[in-house]
Structure 1
Amino acid sequence: MTTENKKVRLDKWLWAARFFKTRSIAKQAIDGGKVHFDGARCKVSKEVVIGAKLTIRQGSEEKTVLIKQLSDQRRGYEVAKELYEELPESIAKREQTAAQRRAEFAGQLHSERRPSKRDRRRITTFKDAMNQEVE
């Protein structure tokens, strides 16, 4: 699994560490500036080294990981998570942002039940009336 002597490209390592489903998606993320190698943008062909720090943005989450091992083969999750270690600050920051998102979502209005057939008719009538006013 580990390739201590071999050189491993960044896109291949991200794929092997199961951050991205395919190498092409990893390439798009790197080219799009979603992956930083030791604090700087990098190219897809960047050779990873043990001890390097990667910052990876996926959706609204941002992970900062330390490379522990090199691999160019994709394995199961249990094996792949041995390739890196997520920094404690990164874990705390992700948990804090997740809590904020949950709090924002909880503040939104939610009905206790689904709309009935009568409610759906009223909604449709209201939307139709609004569309006619706009035209």
Structure 2
Amino acid sequence: MTRVDAWTWSVRLFKTRSAAASACRGGHVKINGATAKPAQPVVPGDEVRVWAGGRERIVEVARLVSKRVGAPAAAECYVDRSPPPPPKELFAAVPVRDRGAGRPTKRDRREIDRLRGQN
């Protein structure tokens, strides 16, 4: 058996082990539908749901690893059942101010708020 924080870090779902543990403590990792603590063990066949990077990853544990492995080896340790990420066209482009334009004026801030629907 392997800890869920170590396994999610080992198969490269998180960049660091501490980030994996923090996600577990924050309720962003679920095993078979139940919120997981960092030390909770995973076994082959478990469904692990991870909310990271703005999207949900749904993976089934295929093989246990406790040490971080390369990307090709990590891909063999789980079966990815995640929905495809949304297309980039759905995200609104961030408005870019001209370089050297300075801080937005009060009028600019009001227009930004109006565009965001805050007023």
Into which bin does the TM-score normalised by the smaller protein fall? 0.7 to 0.9
What whole-Å deviation, never above 9, does each CA across 1:53-87 have from its counterpart, x for those lacking one?
01100132101111000000111111111111111
Determine the C-alpha separation between the residues in 1 that align with 2:20 and 2:7.
9
User: 1:91 corresponds to which residue?
Assistant: 83
Larger strand percent: 2
User: 1:60 corresponds to which residue?
Assistant: 54
What whole-Å deviation, never above 9, does each CA across 1:5-27 have from its counterpart, x for those lacking one?
xx211111111111112211110
Shift of 1:130: 7.3
How many residues are aligned here? Answer: 109
Q: Within 5 A, what are the aligned runs for 1:114-129? A: 115=98, 120=101, 127=105
CA-based RMSD: 2.7
User: 1:12 corresponds to which residue?
Assistant: 6
Task: Tell me which structure has the larger Cα radius of gyration.
Answer: 1
Determine the C-alpha separation between the residues in 2 that align with 1:103 and 1:60.
14
Q: Structure 1 residue runs of 4+, over 3 Å off?
A: 114-117, 128-131
Determine the C-alpha separation between the residues in 2 that align with 1:130 and 1:102.
26
Q: Within 5 A, what are the aligned runs for 1:71-110? A: 71-87=65-81, 90-92=82-84, 94=85, 98-99=86-87, 102-105=89-92
Give me the TM-score of the superposition, normalised by structure 1.
0.68
Q: Note if 1:48 corresponds to 2:42.
A: yes
User: Structure 1 residues 129, 102: CA separation in 2 closer, same or farther (over 3 Å shift)?
Assistant: closer
Give me the TM-score of the superposition, normalised by structure 2.
0.77
User: Structure 1 residues 105, 37: CA separation in 2 closer, same or farther (over 3 Å shift)?
Assistant: same
What whole-Å deviation, never above 9, does each CA across 1:79-122 have from its counterpart, x for those lacking one?
111111111xx233x3xxx22x522425x7x68xx7487xx3xx
User: Structure 1 residues 38, 127: CA separation in 2 closer, same or farther (over 3 Å shift)?
Assistant: same
Identity of aligned residues (%): 30
Unaligned runs of 5+ in 1: 1-6
